[in-house]
Structure 1
């Protein structure tokens, strides 16, 4: 528990059938790895808890809501609010017993096998929807989400495109929504458990904004990253719960500086090093 001297804390709260179960580091040894991305797939979090009593462990079940917070001193904030997807049997880790929980933030819509069609439905898996010429992207997104029963927050669209010809939606709900978002030059993604569409480069007024330098937690010099679809930098910082998809960073380092947005990343704690790693652009 090397981080006690720095005031690092972790709080895990699970909504069990018997009421809320709260476990805290450093009272319990708790490790975690929590991802966040700009993709329309739920982010995965793995939480390892050590040396739980059998009676406590048996309270934890698949499908329960789980909340993970972390930070230093009084500055503690959300890492994830998710649902338990898997529970692995306890295993020995040295002289300790480790219990692993895997949870997902948001609903995994990739498993939704329904499809949109503009023809008469031939099965219960088909959702009929048609759009006349002249509708815009916001209207199409709102209608598709409503017809599929998917909670969707349309924050902003870079281009609220007007379809000058009748528009036909096809494919699964998530693929159809992603296609329209792309037509509007915007992104469909999960942020802190909410599925949203937005122009990720536009300041909506609620994105976290903060300065990052060696004095405020930057651990290494930013590294240049690029591939066919993306270019930017990878950064490594002391854990900062404010970092999430679309958060704005004013970066100051010896060789790289300026304002950037977070694309994806992870919050991790291995029992020794609480860190946030992120890709920024």
Structure 2
């Protein structure tokens, strides 16, 4: 039976570790299935001026979270800003973190590919321009550009467009690039029910191409973009695939994972 006791959050940055055991910490960690960097916000209370001065822009920041005996990574990113404000007698330091470096400046100009070039070749070259490791690479179809292809502009835009031609998602998660179908991959299956942390009723949604459920659970580090969830709730029992969501944590308030998950 899942419970809300024994919460664990560890923030690691600039060779320092901040544990929820010793610090008041809050955070919001979004994740989704596109190449735009997601921005997380972490708040820590009453850090010393010396400690704050050590947390610098572009430093790597990682967060482990979960419950005692079952903890995993929910964020691996880069500090984008640090700001400390007074709130009454407290000093609250807000750290904003991008889950990848700012990739908007990674651009190419008029790289021309020959007639008959496969999308997989272009994608691997463009990911190389980003300088991020590939975690998974699996195309629904390897589209062939019979008339050739010219790559020009922001690299993330090019990757997104070429992946779309292959009917495939491209996204960044925890500092790695994924090019794959959300509904297919080497993902562990997580069984989610009231007994394993499901909160309330799951709400169905329907869009032009997708049907799915909006789900709330107690914070679960295993759930992120493309996670496979065997959902058991009042109105539905079956498999869904996570498209986007948010981890939210604090010492005494919310400690949960909200997701949108689509049907196979």
| Selected match of 1:57 from 52, 61, 67 | 52
**Could you report, residue by residue, the CA deviation over 1:122-167 in whole angstroms, capped at 9, with x for unpaired residues?**
xxxxxxx222222211012123333x35435261000011222222
TM-score (norm 1): 0.86
3-state SS of 2:23 partner: coil
Match of 1:98 in 2: 92
The answer to whether the aligner puts 1:275 opposite 2:256 as a matched pair is yes
The residue correspondences of 1:79-98 to structure 2 (distance < 5 A) are 79-92=74-87, 94-98=88-92
| Selected match of 1:170 from 133, 141, 152 | 152
Match of 1:137 in 2: 119
**Could you report, residue by residue, the CA deviation over 1:48-83 in whole angstroms, capped at 9, with x for unpaired residues?**
001112222222111211111111111111010111
Match of 1:22 in 2: 17
Q: List gaps (5 residues or longer) in structure 2.
A: none
CA contact (8 A) 2:215 2:259 kept: yes
Q: For residues 10 and 133 of structure 2, what CA distance do their matches in structure 1 show?
A: 29
Match of 1:72 in 2: 67
Distance 1:149 1:106, change over 3 A: closer
Q: For residues 127 and 73 of structure 2, what CA distance do their matches in structure 1 show?
A: 27
Distance 1:5 1:240, change over 3 A: closer
| Selected match of 2:223 from 234, 243, 255 | 243
Instruction: Give the aligned length.
Output: 258
CA contact (8 A) 1:222 1:234 kept: yes
| Selected match of 1:226 from 206, 217, 222 | 206
Match of 2:183 in 1: 201
Match of 1:184 in 2: 166
Q: For residues 47 and 247 of structure 2, what CA distance do their matches in structure 1 show?
A: 23
Match of 1:256 in 2: 236
Q: For residues 185 and 52 of structure 1, what CA distance do their matches in structure 2 show?
A: 47
TM-score (norm 2): 0.91
Q: List gaps (5 residues or longer) in structure 1.
A: 118-128
Larger Rg over CA atoms: 1
CA shift, 1:5, in A, is 7.9
CA shift, 1:256, in A, is 1.3
Q: Which has the higher strand share?
A: 2
Q: For residues 196 and 154 of structure 2, what CA distance do their matches in structure 1 show?
A: 44
CA shift, 1:277, in A, is 0.3
CA shift, 1:107, in A, is 2.1
CA contact (8 A) 1:106 1:195 kept: no
